[in-house]
A and B are shown apart, each in its own frame.
Chain A
Amino acid sequence: MHDELAELREAYALESAEMLAEVESALLTLESAPAIGDDFNRFFRAIHTIKGSSGIVGADQVESFCHALEHLLVRIREDGIPLSSDLVSLFLQCHDHIKTLVVFFEKGSTELPSRHSQLTALIANWQPLPPPDASSDAELPESDPSVTAEETVSGQSGAAQKVVRIDAQKLDQLINLVVELVTATSELESHIKRLSDSASLESASSVSLLVKKIQERAMVFRMVPVGDLFRRFQRLVHDLSAASGKKIQLATAGLETELDKVLAERLREPLVHLIRNAIDHGIELPSERQALGKPSTGLISMNAFQETGCIVIEVQDDGRGISRERVLRRAVERGLIRPFETADRDPLALIFEPGFSTMEEATMLSGRGVGMDVVKRTIEELRGKIEVRSTEGQGTTFQLRLPLSLALIDGFMVAVGSEYYILPMEQVDETIDLPPESSEELLQRGYLNIRGEALPCLDLRSITTPDTIPPLSRFAVVIRQEGRRVGLAVDQLVGEVKAVIKPLGRLYRDARIISGATILGDGAIALILDLPELLRLYGENCIASP
């Protein structure tokens, strides 16, 4: 009989460890994609199994805690409460707590872990709606106070805020429809203009105005506070610093800064990579830090803020910094540059080169075979930029600049022949009138003399080859790309536009210099130019000449 009991308890120890591992793996997946689905069910089943087995072996505290948790999970599933990152992090705490409870049971301890009553109360009293002043558990933008405040029906002072939770997917569908509506309305408006019926035109204009307002409001729905994204990194830093034997604190700032929901999702991986890098290569071991006169706990800070038309995210560490000498040496070893080139290259820019980091030197922490080149590519796909600053011995800062919205572009519109093109506003430096003779000079030599500056110049006509003859007076838009100024000759300057980006149809699939399109008020199409790609493909034409 005693043997049987011992055997049972041994099986329980194994099984609960296995189930807790299952819980953690399910939760870590849920952390990146919180949804009631397979992973939630996996989590649910494992908790249920732990509860059942705990009851069998007499681990009463584990059983009752799992029972309370299961009760909450049933509520979430049956009431269709959306999973938020805050909920998932609460579940991770529960996971850790159950683990401790099991250990206490195995040791035969009659005591309870310190957080027991606090956590038990938390899961028993958990409510889906946070008070308006509490830090939001927003996964959906609706539960973010700054958004809901705007949407709240005001009037009665002191009335409770009304928060409606909506499935993010349904919201996306609605926003897509609104974008279609904007296009359809401007088409309708341009048809009505031709009828010259003033009454129809007047109502069409007011419809169009309303639609534009709806669009502006709808775009706000897509915005989520960056805090939702940042909060997930606390555990990562916590777990990884424990694993690496380093002491690290994560400080976050600018949590209320809003960014596009899709952008927030796409940024997760690159940020994980930057954080892993900071932990692995940046922050030193406590003993090493003390010897250098630094505080033994390293600091990683994540900061977000808005700056004219873009959102800036910085990941900073106070570790050892990047050694330029080592970077150059490795770049030569890897064959990225030749030894005699070392003097002309910015060493820090080399870390973004494909092939700079390799599997062999990658460690347990940052080594997933993903290098900084992948981080850079992801950021660029999002129409963003990444820069690195580093001081040896003092630390490294990565700065990410991203557009506020993936659906809208602040652009500068130009025309060539009868075609309209949009350049991203943040890359436009200035515009210049081109006298007729300079057009000739441009075509022949590929550069312009602008106030004594030899400006490399590219004629958009030579790329788009319109079938109209060039007008007598033309213009150049000076764009900035990776610190370099390049002129782009065009026929006409139209002006600043805020455009809704539509994905390209089949027709333009192979046109790599076009990143998207937008439909203008009169139903005409304007193409959005991908300037980095344009300069990559045609840049030599104008750089090599002088």
Chain B
Amino acid sequence: MAKILIVDDSVVARMSLKSCLPKEAGHEITEGKDGAEGVALYQSFSPDVTFMDLTMPGMDGITALAEIRTIDPTARVIILTADIQRRTIERVTELGAFAVVKKPPVKEVVQAELDRALAAGAAS
């Protein structure tokens, strides 16, 4: 069982991501609606893995990713985005994103990346 934070302004996107996560694992899931909420929840909830959208009102995902990585340089943040511009991928990788998953999320990909992130966390 792991603690997972999902940050996305879209209810639909959050619901669909949750449906990709294995229910039987009994993960504890918390959700945030924008970057600022994401950063605050990261500190109070201390998730093992964070799923982060990029385009959000107020603080966007890139800024939130940078802040979270400053607070916790070992933070494992998986970026979920419909924006698959090479530049964006380079930028979030530079900022220390653990992985980038294209929206709409596919169950197998999400689970594989989640397993990888959890394993990396256990190893560190």
Give A contacts to B, CB under 8 Å.
4, 7-8, 11-12, 14-15, 42, 44-45, 48-49, 51-53, 55-57
Contacts and interface: CB of A to CB of B under 8 A. Distances in A.
B115 interface: no
Nearest to A4: B19
Given A4-B19, A42-B57, A45-B55, A11 B12 contact: yes
Interface string B1-42: 000000001111101100100000000000000000000000
* Chain B contact residues: helix, strand, loop or mixed: loop
Given A45-B57, A51-B82, A56 B16 contact: yes
A53 B82 CA distance: 10
B103 interface: yes
A7 B55 contact: no
A52 to B, nearest CB: 4
Nearest to B56: A45
Nearest to A58: B104
Contact of B10 (A4, A7, A44, A52): A52
Nearest to B12: A53
Contacts of A49: 9-10, 13, 55
A45 B33 CA distance: 13
A197 to B, nearest CB: 63
Interface in B25-67: 53, 55-57
A408 B57 CA distance: 44
B90 interface: no
Interface of B: 9-13, 15-16, 19, 53, 55-57, 82-83, 103-105
A48 B82 contact: yes
Contact of A48 (B12, B55, B104): B55
Contacts of B12: 8, 11-12, 15, 52-53, 56-57
A14 B11 contact: yes
A48 B13 CA distance: 12
Contacts of A12: 12
Which secondary structure dominates chain A's binding surface?
helix
A8 B82 contact: no
A46 to B, nearest CB: 9
Contact of B15 (A7, A44, A48, A52): A7
Contacts of B13: 49, 52-53, 56
A8 B17 CA distance: 11
21 contacts: A7-B15, A8-B15, A8-B16, A8-B19, A15-B10, A44-B55, A45-B56, A48-B55, A48-B82, A49-B13, A51-B82, A52-B12, A52-B13, A52-B53, A52-B103, A52-B104, A53-B12, A56-B13, A56-B104, A56-B105, A57-B16
B104 to A, nearest CB: 4
Contacts of A11: 11-12, 15
Contacts of A4: 19
B114 to A, nearest CB: 18
* Most chain B CB within a 10 A radius of its CB, from A12, A49, A51: A49
A20 to B, nearest CB: 13
A56 B80 CA distance: 12
Q: Which 10 A-B pairs have the closest CB atoms?
A: A53-B12, A56-B104, A55-B104, A56-B16, A52-B82, A48-B55, A11-B11, A49-B10, A12-B12, A11-B12
B55 A53 contact: no
Contacts of A42: 57
A4 B105 CA distance: 16
Contacts of B9: 45, 49
B20 to A, nearest CB: 10
Nearest to A12: B12
B54 to A, nearest CB: 9
B19 A15 contact: no
Contacts of A52: 10, 12-13, 53, 82, 103-104
A170 to B, nearest CB: 29
A55 B15 CA distance: 13
Given A45-B57, A55-B103, 19 more contacts: A4-B19, A7-B15, A8-B16, A11-B12, A11-B15, A12-B12, A44-B55, A45-B55, A48-B82, A49-B55, A51-B82, A52-B10, A52-B82, A53-B12, A55-B82, A56-B12, A56-B13, A56-B104, A57-B16
Contacts of B55: 44-45, 48-49
A45 B55 CA distance: 6
A226 B84 CA distance: 42
A8 B13 CA distance: 9
A44 B60 CA distance: 13
Central interface residue in B9, B12, B103, by most chain A CB within 10 Å = B12
Contacts of A44: 55
A268 B49 CA distance: 52
Contacts of A15: 10-12
B100 to A, nearest CB: 14
Nearest to A9: B12
A236 B51 CA distance: 43
A434 B53 CA distance: 82
A53 B57 contact: no
Nearest to B82: A52
A104 B55 CA distance: 26
